[in-house]
Structure 1
Amino acid sequence: MAFGAALGRLPRVVRDGGTFVGFLGLAMVYFWRLFAIDPGDRRWIQRGDFTDQFYPWARFAADELGAGRLPLWNPYVLGGHPFQADPQTATLYPVSLLIAFVFGSGGLAFRELELEIPLHLALAAFGAFLFARRVYGNGAAGIVTGISYGFGGFLTSYPVQQLAILRSAAWIPWLLYCVERSIGPKRSPRAAVALAIIAALSIVAGHSQTSMFGLYLSAAYLVVRGRQSGRGWGAIARAGVVGLGGGVALAAVQIVPTIEFAGVSTRARLSFDDAAYGYELKALPGILLSSWRGERALYAGYVGYALALVQVWRRGPTTHFWLIVAVLALLLSVGGHTFAFNIVYWLLPGWATFRDQERLAVLWSLAIAMMAGGGLVAVRHLSTTEHRVISRFSRLAAVVAIVIVVEVVVAWSFRRDRIPNPVDSLLDSAVYLALIALAWAAAHWYARRRGAVVTVIVVCGIVSLDLFSTGIDANLSREDPNAIGARSPLFDVARQEREPYRVRSDDDRQFPPNWAAIWQTPTMTGDSPIQIRRIRELVASGAEWRLWQLFNVKYLASAVERNDAGLELVARDGESRLYRVRYSLPRAWAVTDARILPNGGRIEDVLDLQIHPGDVAIVEEEPSIPIRPGAARSDVAVTFERPGEMTVHIDGAANSLLVVADAWYPGWNAWIDGMPAPILRTNYAFRGVAVSAGRHVVEMRFEPRSLRLGAGISALASCLLIAVLFVPRRRASTSHVT
């Protein structure tokens, strides 16, 4: 008691800082094996999106920032890729920028990026703590909510691999906390500015779909909580415009380039069937069975469910709202398997832009966590009779769980000769259910006799044990991803090339294409959920030899012996081989036969084997100067190249079309001898510039207008939000509807 009183006398900011450190400590304990000193205990994030996408992206961004350049264009993958416009790279995300600046000197290490995982779990837990404490007026409820959300089945499952989801999901409870402060009882009107900042953070964090979920949830909560607190529609609208609208405007520096990218990407035309993909209905037992089908994203903890039921029973504040959120999140997470998705697909802007609706489990997880926190408050105020009911229910649940275990063991024994046994995961979940049910029954019996403080400690302990035990080894592997980087010496021969080149790999598992940025060995493929559509169509065509010509592929990396005509073995490292491609085309060359095919052309035109791309180029609009076939070939040399820049010298006796084997994309600009020149979309997906006879210097730079426009909107939004802070504050009403 004396210790609790001493803590209560500390300033709230100190206590809150201690709470955040506590959550961060829990997160480090959860993932302690990622940072173990003993090599025998050391584990790594298992091979997947984290190793093959997010680490190469983070490494490239850190390298570019270290060189004094904003990473706008990645020349190492897919013939060139709009790096900053791709939202999942999180180029402008402050947390990632901080890690890049602190650790990026000399190359960002894999372990240093892994720090983002416990950091964002702690941010998620702390945001949920602040929000629940504000709503329920109880710190213990906040701790239970923070543990339930921050370490629940969703955030600790595949978002650990898909770091962009984890980053954006961590800010959702912060959004709701700022909404509560700006419109709820005891509101602070200037909290809408904080809401705008958090909304912008959730957007630039990298996962647009998760950000959209958070913004829609915040808008709904703003309306419900505002009316519940007695606010007029005008006050609600002002908070929404300043907070949510201001946040979107503040993030325009990311949103505008991303919209431009989406227009020419594989997401430009997403069909209903693609957007409607979600959980199968048979995945829903995973709500109760943490090992069901190897997926634990729906699992929110048995103790969390029990406390949520108490909250529903007692009908605490905002219970109906969170119950509706939980039900809707489950319904929509199965995508097109229910008609509910059809409604949001047509009525809610943005929903038709994204696939994988199972990611709505993030809102299910948050809703259960909020009701669990409210349930703890309700438990502390139950009558003696109600406690007896819960005790009986807890004992009954334990008995039922044991019966389920017996039945599953019988079912397992009938299939014990099958390897793997299809009942294995069900048996694991059933045994775990029984253990937690017994622990909860014993804890409830003990805590009732020890007082409120012990009750809180016991509940938090059981919640942590439940969630930590089911997921602590998820996403971990003994495989050291740094072994991928050890394959870099294979490309030493290629890096000695005096002219630009690209490498093609026939085994992305052996040679992850995004690691090309780390190896500084450009490739024609890449691994990103969003790609330039025409580049993706070409790569997916399978017309390898023609693609090697179009993409300036001079080397093939292979894990098998290749006897193809036109390949020459030049290096070998164990089972990995590097072949030189004979008769390849350079990065830039000139043609005097430019054939105009309007209306976008067809992919078949550039794959036609009767047309050699070294002699003929296909363009989609008339060049600015006449180009006639038959003239002698011009001399072309790339004299300078770095991310987002290229200089080419050309000397020809006749007008020609300079063809550059780099991806066409809005934002690339060209100058001939310092004078602006138009860039033509050439050979379906590449760049071309019409150049007159004579000696010329052609410069190309990536300077997207969309970035400048977005930055201007963000700057204006920043000024307006600062102005809002200095608007004289009117006395805020604290009256609210009960």
Structure 2
Amino acid sequence: MRHLKRYFPILFLVLAVLVFFHKSVIDSAVPLPADIVVGVYYPWLDYKWEGYPAGVPVKNPLLSDVPSLIYPQKIYAMSQIKSGMLPLWNPLMFNGYPLMANFQSAVFNPFNVFFLLARPAVAWSWYIAFQPFLAGLFTYLLLRYLRLSVWPALFGAIAFAFSGFSLIWLEYGIHGYVAAYIPALLLFSLVFARSRRLLYGVLTAVVVSLQIFSGYPQITLYTLLLLPIWTWVNLAPPSKPAWFIKYLFFIGLGIALSAPQLLPGLELLKNSQRLAESVTGGSQIAFLPWTQMITLLAPDFFGNPTTGNFWGPGDYTNTSFYVGTVVFVLCLVSLFYWKYSHSIRFFWSLFLASLILALPTPISRAVSWLPLFSASTATRWFIMTSLSASVLSALGLQHLLSASRTRLYPHMRLAVIPAVVLLSCFLGFFAAREALLSAAADFPVITHTSVFQASTENFSVTLRNLILPGILAFCSGLLVFLSLRFKITRLTVPVFLLLSLFELLRFGWKYNPFFRSDLIFPDTGVLSFLRDNQGKGRFQGGDVIPLNMWLPYGLAAPGGYDAVYPLSWARYLASLDGGLPGEAKGRVGSIARYDSPLLDTAAVRYILALKRVHGVPDPAGTPSYVFDLPKLRPVFDEGSVVVLENTAALPESYLITAESGTVPVFPRSLANPKKFTFEVDSSSSSRLVNTTVDFPGWEASIDGRRVTKSASALPFQSVEVPAGSHRIEFTYRPLSFRIGLHLYLSASVLGAAVILNENRRAASRPRTARLV
């Protein structure tokens, strides 16, 4: 029984995670929005999948990045590791681009081990589920070290693990891991500041590197701004500046430990289209609109994309910063103890600062012009809003627990909190009215009748979605009153926890889809044909397969969608579509012109086209006029999709000779995407061209001797070959990764030396802090 009581918080966290992922546990459903693939796009729409006679319904279209990029990229990277290769290069998009250097691939995340132990669908479920568990565990340990009781600490852990920010980004498998390490870093930094033991400095360094490895540098940047402030205010004299410098050294050590990821990532960023690209969607995406403030308490005030009735400004994913009504009520409780608690003052300051930086204020707009912030979305500050609200709610619950044992009447004023919350809801309602009137002013052609009808429908959505927050606010206020009036906090505290858990899990279940594992990227006749003809050239999805959704099938294409990819290729794609010299595509590397010779030069052999009748997909129809070109001929037909062969396409690799012109050559093996080996024989000097994008790190050799690659106006790899028989190799060996690896090893040795030295001195040094 003693052991059960000791480990009860951990078991409760595990139980909460299992309850949230009960569909995965019971039905083997996967937390992946793969319904978008088979429910929206061809060639999958031509099939009737078992259990869905009327077609597969799509729950949340806003999560399309997960099946189109995050999941396929992860599976491809893990398949390379299983084959014994380091996943440095991705040949399947943009005619090839760095894979490991892309932060979002999170190749060095230690929880990738799930993909080495289980099949992809099962591994993905475990991978996603561990995010809230880690976040809850580290938050609980932090709160316990802040001397909170078990129940308040557990409440704060649940509040952060299942906060709105964490649940909205849950199925990406990136943001959750980065966020989970923030409370761990605050914990180790705090122990370091109080105990002044170098061991906790090393642990801080390790967690900094793990956070960088998790794949979202923007949140890591925010964390690195927060940590020095947190540590400075918790360091006490004497020698405060000296120990603060030591702490900064350990932050630098953590950055050095992450160098194998960080340096290639910075190299890719430097040579990408990203730095010149503004945030997609403008200020409505970059900042939180003022009218969206109400979503702090009522996330569906403006509707929800999963129910198809979202009518608010901006984008739901970027502008929702829901923390929970119960959580916020307890945050307000903590406000009454501002002058008694240093932690309350710090986290309220963090809460308000994160809002100021996320809203379109003069401060946030000024920050958005700074380097590293200009291409980022300010609403990612909501992770700090969620963390601070979770900690504050736990502190409020702790003080509520203490208040029930002291004087009663000074705390009766806390009963006004529900009124404040409800007032906020109705203020938000009238703010929505102003948003509607503003929208009507932007579209003067709308009649008064249509505006009134739209207003009525939207207000109905708003009022309906205010009911639950209002009930929860009332129940929370009632629990505060009962706790104080009858001194029954030991009974009401677990009720607070269960009420908050219900509220947050309900939000998460509503937003996040779970899908059948057997329908995750199923095979079709068209896809089988393309796989069977690999090696003859790349393919282009045309108006059929959307960007990136060919990755799980191992198909290579010139287009793609990613936040970061080579600038040289972005300019090539822009030129292909008729862009001006120097113009570059953005993160959406789509192709619209199929008559361009640059499409042929990129070795695009097959193009998919959708057959239509009067614009509607139909197996009896014909492709769009844009595909009516002499060089394109149909070679495979299935349902509403036809595969066109581009007869003018150049080979993926070829030799240019004076006698024979262009001669196709084929690599000895395609098993290793970061190495191409060719055996060529020519009676005269020639040039070998490999249509993989040339990027820093690619090296060329002839017969084992390294040679300089040929200069070219095209962004491809090429080398001058002398007459005779030769073995030519193109190998991707980025210097940035090799330097990063050396920095990692040096930092590891230095960290180990610090720990050994600390252990030798431990016997003569009293322990002044202990991790609870």
Q: TM-score, with normalisation over the residues of structure 2?
A: 0.80
Matched-pair contact (CA < 8 Å) for 2:297–2:328: no
Matched-pair contact (CA < 8 Å) for 1:183–1:189: no
1:339 counterpart = 2:369: no
> Bigger CA drift: 52-61 or 565-574?
565-574
What are the within-5 Å matches in structure 2 for residues 492-641 of structure 1? Answer: 492-497=528-533, 499-507=535-543, 510-541=544-575, 542=577, 543-544=593-594, 545-560=596-611, 561-562=622-623, 563-591=628-656, 632-633=660-661, 635-640=663-668, 641=670
User: Match of 2:87, SS?
Assistant: coil
What is aligned with 1:361? Answer: 382
1:264 counterpart = 2:271: yes
Go from structure 1 to structure 2 and tell me whether the alpha carbon gap of 1:405 and 1:512 turns closer, same or farther (over 3 Å shift): closer
**CA apart distance, 1:684:** 3.2
Identity %: 20
Which one of 68, 75, 89 corresponds to residue 73 of structure 1? 89
**CA apart distance, 1:404:** 8.3
Matched-pair contact (CA < 8 Å) for 1:77–1:513: no
Which one of 120, 124, 127 corresponds to residue 138 of structure 2? 127
**CA apart distance, 1:416:** 8.7
1:241 counterpart = 2:222: no
Which one of 208, 220, 236 corresponds to residue 217 of structure 2? 208
Matched-pair contact (CA < 8 Å) for 2:680–2:725: yes
What is aligned with 1:373? Answer: 394
User: Match of 1:292, SS?
Assistant: coil
What is aligned with 2:690? Answer: 660
Gaps of 5+ in 2: 36-59, 305-315, 437-448, 578-592, 612-621
CA distance in 2, matches of 1:714, 1:210: 22
Which one of 102, 106, 118 corresponds to residue 103 of structure 1? 118
> Bigger CA drift: 518-527 or 677-686?
677-686
CA distance in 1, matches of 2:551, 2:432: 51
> Bigger CA drift: 579-588 or 420-429?
420-429
CA distance in 2, matches of 1:275, 1:689: 43
Matched-pair contact (CA < 8 Å) for 2:30–2:517: no
User: Match of 2:644, SS?
Assistant: strand
Matched-pair contact (CA < 8 Å) for 2:330–2:396: yes
User: Match of 2:146, SS?
Assistant: helix
What is aligned with 1:595? Answer: none
Matched-pair contact (CA < 8 Å) for 1:663–1:685: yes
Q: TM-score, with normalisation over the residues of structure 1?
A: 0.83
Matched-pair contact (CA < 8 Å) for 2:88–2:100: yes
CA distance in 2, matches of 1:310, 1:95: 37
User: Match of 1:351, SS?
Assistant: coil
Go from structure 1 to structure 2 and tell me whether the alpha carbon gap of 1:71 and 1:395 turns closer, same or farther (over 3 Å shift): closer
What is aligned with 1:607? Answer: none
> Any idea what the Cα deviations from partners look like across 1:585-635, whole Å, max 9, x if unmatched?
00112336xxxxxxxxxxxxxxxxxxxxxxxxxxxxxxxxxxxxx654264
Which one of 104, 118, 122 corresponds to residue 129 of structure 2? 118
Go from structure 1 to structure 2 and tell me whether the alpha carbon gap of 1:40 and 1:150 turns closer, same or farther (over 3 Å shift): closer
**CA apart distance, 1:260:** 1.1
RMSD of aligned Cα (Å): 3.3
Matched-pair contact (CA < 8 Å) for 2:94–2:560: yes
Matched-pair contact (CA < 8 Å) for 1:634–1:653: no
What is aligned with 2:373? Answer: 351
**CA apart distance, 1:230:** 6.2
Q: Partner amino acid for 2:474?
A: L
What is aligned with 1:386? Answer: 410
CA distance in 1, matches of 2:425, 2:223: 39
Gaps of 5+ in 1: 593-629
CA distance in 2, matches of 1:711, 1:409: 53
Go from structure 1 to structure 2 and tell me whether the alpha carbon gap of 1:420 and 1:81 turns closer, same or farther (over 3 Å shift): farther
Q: Partner amino acid for 2:630?
A: A
User: Match of 2:530, SS?
Assistant: helix
Go from structure 1 to structure 2 and tell me whether the alpha carbon gap of 1:407 and 1:515 turns closer, same or farther (over 3 Å shift): closer
1:217 counterpart = 2:268: no
> Any idea what the Cα deviations from partners look like across 1:308-340, whole Å, max 9, x if unmatched?
122221122322221221111111113xx3221
> Bigger CA drift: 440-449 or 315-324?
440-449
> Any idea what the Cα deviations from partners look like across 1:26-74, whole Å, max 9, x if unmatched?
1231232344428899986855122111110121122111211111111
CA distance in 2, matches of 1:155, 1:717: 31
1:302 counterpart = 2:292: no
User: Match of 1:115, SS?
Assistant: helix
Matched-pair contact (CA < 8 Å) for 1:405–1:431: no
**CA apart distance, 1:415:** 8.3
1:689 counterpart = 2:700: no
1:311 counterpart = 2:334: yes
Q: Partner amino acid for 1:675?
A: R
Matched-pair contact (CA < 8 Å) for 1:151–1:468: yes
CA distance in 2, matches of 1:310, 1:118: 31
Go from structure 1 to structure 2 and tell me whether the alpha carbon gap of 1:487 and 1:365 turns closer, same or farther (over 3 Å shift): same
**CA apart distance, 1:575:** 1.9
**CA apart distance, 1:255:** 0.5
Number of corresponding residues: 671
Q: Partner amino acid for 1:289?
A: A
Go from structure 1 to structure 2 and tell me whether the alpha carbon gap of 1:273 and 1:513 turns closer, same or farther (over 3 Å shift): closer
Matched-pair contact (CA < 8 Å) for 2:171–2:512: yes
1:189 counterpart = 2:189: no
CA distance in 2, matches of 1:29, 1:500: 49
1:471 counterpart = 2:508: yes
